[in-house]
Amino acid sequence: MKYLLLFCATPEELAAWQALPEEERAKTRARSAQWMAEHRAQILSDNGLHLPHTVTSVHVGTGGKPLVTDGPFLEGTEVIGGYAEIEVADLDEALQLAKTWADHAPCHRVVEIWPVVVGK
């Protein structure tokens, strides 16, 4: 099964991350990269995402015309900082993998696990 792991942080965690000295952020990024390397056999692709203020959204506006806005369209209390597409046997294996993430990336303490619809 394929799953998408979304690495999420609260706005407070994001602010704390941004307040860290660059040296500390680099150490955390290195721990995250170590986690990715340790699980490379299960990870199909992964990327970090830029901060929410860099997002552009396109959604249906008045009269069905596309409306372009700055910032994320979806509202929530958490910020998605990155993702990894994984291939594992089942949800239990995805859960085991996700549970090890927090030790490597303390600022993105929530991992959402989304099943991926695989096309024919």
Q: What tens digit of pLDDT does each residue of 19-46 get?
A: 999 999 999 889 999 999 999 999 999 9
For residues 73 and 88, give the distance between their C-alpha atoms in angstroms, rounded to a whole number.
Answer: 31
CA nearest neighbour of 71 among 82, 89, 55, 88: 55
**What tens digit of pLDDT does each residue of 88-113 get?**
999 999 999 999 887 777 677 789 99
DSSP 117: P
Q: What local confidence, expressed as pLDDT, does residue 91 receive?
A: 94
In a domain, 43, yes or no: yes
Confidence tier at 47 by pLDDT (50, 70, 90): very high
The CATH number of residue 75's host domain is: 3.30.70.1060
Question: Please, are residues 94 and 113 in contact by the beta-carbon 8 Å criterion?
Answer: yes
- Reduced to 3 states (helix: H, G, I; strand: E, B; else coil), residue 17 is helix
Q: How many domains does the chain contain in total?
A: 1
Tell me the backbone φ, ψ of residue 39, rounded to 5 degrees: -115, 20
Its domain, for residue 46, covers 2-115
In a domain, 50, yes or no: yes
Radius of gyration of the chain (CA): 16
Higher pLDDT, 107 or 81: 81
Is residue 55 a part of any domain in this protein? yes
Token pair, residue 12, equals 């407070």
Identify the sign of the CA torsion 23, 24, 29, 32: positive
pLDDT for the residue numbered 106: 67
The mean pLDDT value of the chain amounts to 88
